[in-house]
Structure 1
């Protein structure tokens, strides 16, 4: 059996991908690795950037590093500012809109979510 060691990645060496109106750098992805449950990514958006309403089958946790955004869920607004941590329970439909010039957030969530065409949340393939 091979020795299991920590993995180290440098954010500056990761190419961004487009996610809705946002730019995302995926540090660790079970989709790429074929193992585990959690995607870990840094996402950046400019004023007015929005996601579509979506949900995840497992928890999502975020930490805002810079700027401000509003998360809308269940008819309520939750403001995320620098230093704000947020946990979304599984299945909560939500959307995000950036309010500041730039918003940077670190997020960990299930990779098998609506954004990856999870039919259990009504997203067609």
Structure 2
């Protein structure tokens, strides 16, 4: 689980020298970071909600919408493919570095928020599925 992201991070070629909060406010970094965090959240959670409302799918009996929100947030960790796409999308090395910074910040924030939401969610369903052998 950790080999591919670790490989991507090691080969990202991002130097943290001179990187501050102002670097995160650059348009490319901000757009890429928020795209990973909010875009994945809205896309994944919105798709699940729409499928449930249309009757195409059912929410698992032991899952809550809060848990689905946590999982949707975790989808924002798209680190390796995001680096690949950013290098293809931006020709300017400065824009590439800003995109890499946004990817790292967005993925990290998505991981932290997703874990916090899941840790804080109701665990009754999880205990039920474990105790029933399902």
What is the TM-score with the length of structure 2 in the denominator? Answer: 0.24
TM (norm. structure 1) is 0.25
Determine which structure has the larger helix proportion and give its number.
2
Higher strand share: 1
